[in-house]
Amino acid sequence: MIELIKKHNFFKDTVIKSINLFENQGYCNDNYLITCENEKYILRKLLKNDINRDFEYKVSKLAFKINISPEPLLFEKDNSFMLFEFIEGVHKNNLETNDLTLLAKALQSLHNIKIGSHPIKLDIKSNTNQIKNAFETISKYPNEYVLCHSDLNSQNILFIKNKVKLIDWEYAGVMDRYFDFASIIIEFNLNKEEENIFLLAYDQNIQIQQDKLTAYKHIYKILCQECFKDNKKA
């Protein structure tokens, strides 16, 4: 892979100074920092074969167009890699009011993207009464389908001054927007006040169905637990 990148036409007019594997890696890709004379890039070596990478790249291009994601530069399906511009930013575990507002506005922009795709069915192995009750609660409300990121943990959110960039789009798909709400609330352990700040920044006229949101929070937690177990086994 490294030799392939060094010889790639994309880099024919520049000199690659280094290619370094990032210390912290996800489950679906190996991520490298490519440092050239005047630019830096992110190389993603794609690992999992059960992900629709064409859709992932399409979404990343749409997100770049509305300024909420780094620019996607290359996708070579046969060689299993993507190349993105590198953006210097900060991953945060604790969000201040301004951070919540910036993230909410970025999420609103994402959810406003129109894309032709069938909704993703939540695949949960657990069959507890809590899960059954959660899905029963959700079924009482209309679906609010939008394009979701679906993996909004701190490592997939970059804060750059007064902007937010979302990265790693492999789990993106059409889902109920409450799923993204729940993921952010759970991942950043938002209290009720912070939750309200975030949701009102997303849409000041929003009318949140609290029991629906609670149901999605529970579903998100279980999905994360199952995903962690599956990837640990792999």
User: What pLDDT does residue 183 have?
Assistant: 97
pLDDT digits (tens, 9 = 90+) for 165-182: 999 999 999 999 999 999
Distances (CA, A) of 80 to 4, 42, 46, 102: 11, 14, 5, 33
**pLDDT (mean) for 81-104:** 97
123 and 210 both lie in a single domain: yes
Domain count across the chain = 2
Residue 46 located in a structural domain: yes
Q: Tell me, what's the pLDDT at 232?
A: 44
Give the pLDDT score at 194. 98
75 and 123 belong to one structural domain: no
109 and 24 in a single domain? The answer is no
Q: Give pTM, 2 decimals.
A: 0.93
Per-residue pLDDT tens digits for 109-160: 999 999 988 999 888 998 899 999 999 999 999 999 999 999 999 999 999 9
pLDDT computed for residue 229 by the predictor: 63
The pLDDT value recorded for residue 233 is 41
Q: In what order do the strands lie in the sheet with 81-85?
A: 16-21, 29-36, 40-46, 81-85, 72-76
Longest Cα–Cα distance in the chain: 60
Contacts of 11 (CB under 8 A, 6+ apart): 5, 36
pLDDT digits (tens, 9 = 90+) for 193-225: 999 999 999 999 999 999 999 999 999 999 999
| Rounded-to-integer distance, Cα 168 and Cα 150, Å | 10
Is residue 209 domain-shared with residue 105, that is, in the same domain? yes
Could you tell me the residue range of the domain that residue 41 belongs to?
2-85
Q: Which of 220, 197, 7, 13 is nearest to 122 (CA)?
A: 220
Percentage of the residues of the chain whose pLDDT score is greater than 90: 80
Q: Judge whether 73 lies within some domain.
A: yes
The answer as to whether 91 is a domain residue is no
- Do 69 and 119 belong to one domain? no
Q: Which of 117, 45, 29 is nearest to 77 (CA)?
A: 45
- Establish how many alpha carbons lie within 13 A of residue 34's alpha carbon, considering only the half-sphere containing its beta carbon: 23
pLDDT score of 104 more than 60: yes
Residue that is written with structure tokens 């849409």 in the block: 203
At a CB cut-off of 8 Å and minimum separation 6, what does 88 contact? 160
Give per-residue pLDDT as tens, 42-70: 999 999 888 999 999 999 999 999 999 99
